[in-house]
Structure 1
């Protein structure tokens, strides 16, 4: 009897999962898991970019020094003293002084004639080594004398931006979870439909003593085997696309350094592999549990 059950059990797998189904599962898994993996990669890279951007911006302070009423520009000696003040401060990592053309562009003034009655301010930006090091430049007030200067800490300006960024992160994560659930539901529906189409044969196996848990495990394993090739191709495809995008646009996303690009892509690849393993394991467990319930409750008897 045990030998008959084993033979029939092998026939179940061959009967339920036709060779024609393989192309369907491969194509389905490639398309949908590619979509899921894109969301995983997008979330990871956007999270890394936004975190890097916010971290860098929170360490910056912008100063605007206005000239006196009788001055067209800030005297060169003042500029030099400010540069010396900045370079002597060990807490400052780097600085940038905006040139006249950049200031004109930001003010929306293209012709020099438009500056005939307007004094050109001095605008410079400094970046501290740490957000905890933020401070008003000591000695700056003495250097600028009685000129008006304004200080803008970027961490105060990025609060609203951080809210938008968090919403984008939530949306990406929500879509990731939603598509994953829909894919699992689709696989479950296809598997269930296939089993229902062969319920007479399955009923016969259960009558002669086939183990529901063994059947559930084997069928779930067979489904995962058919998903795996398309899933692996989708991970490779998404990794290549992600690598190309970071290579092209990395200079604008705090990933300009080649080693940083390689490190980011390596982490991205490991993340995608980890996601695939976890996703398939969870899908295997879920399928096994559902199919065990399916067989134990003899759902096909109620159809």
Structure 2
């Protein structure tokens, strides 16, 4: 029931809107400041870390994911002449003549294929496809409704072998996701709320906004707490949102159960997080404490 996930990036490309617009050094400026490492640890030592390396032009070249006791995994990035990602690890990306992402394919052994379609206003309206793992194929379909602020407001979900679902998303005045309500369609007529999640935030900038070139919505997975919210709770076909600010609390209700996550940050001179204490509660009882660290460099 924990919010964070252990996968990293499927895609750094915006699929809805782009507002195209890093050593702690007081003389640095935000324009030449970037994230180079993210570390998660517990009272018993480091649990995982992500190390990021960049090309001379500033594009992400690779990241190395280390997790105890499994070791290291290195993921490489490739780009086309327009600096669009064409490959991340064994995922491949295709674009239409307007430069919008239209397809994602994954090489063997686990085949994955996704397509993205847009409205006449170039806003995402559907994400669909399939994944074949160990000979079992699952199909996914997400119909997306956009509100008047060009924000994803409703996601209607159909997944092989599951009840149809509806996901309702609300935002605060600063553009952070404030609530996600998940509903199941158990009788093909009525939607019943099965869980709700509320979020609160600080008023400091989220480094991921800069790290991901100020994107809003993307198809990618984030490392543990890079402050992205997985709107549709699906690891295969993710629709993630990158908040402008940093998450302080996450409160989730499933039936009579309550789960809460609390982050307490320390910041650098640019108001970016450099460390955080993370506490996870189940029905008011402390279940886990973790520690996060962000490492930056000037360039």
In which range does the TM-score fall when normalised by the shorter chain? under 0.3
Bigger Cα Rg:
1
Normalization by structure 2: what TM-score? 0.19
More helix by share: 1
More strand by share: 2
Where relative contact order (Cα < 8 A, 6+ residues apart) is larger, the structure is 1
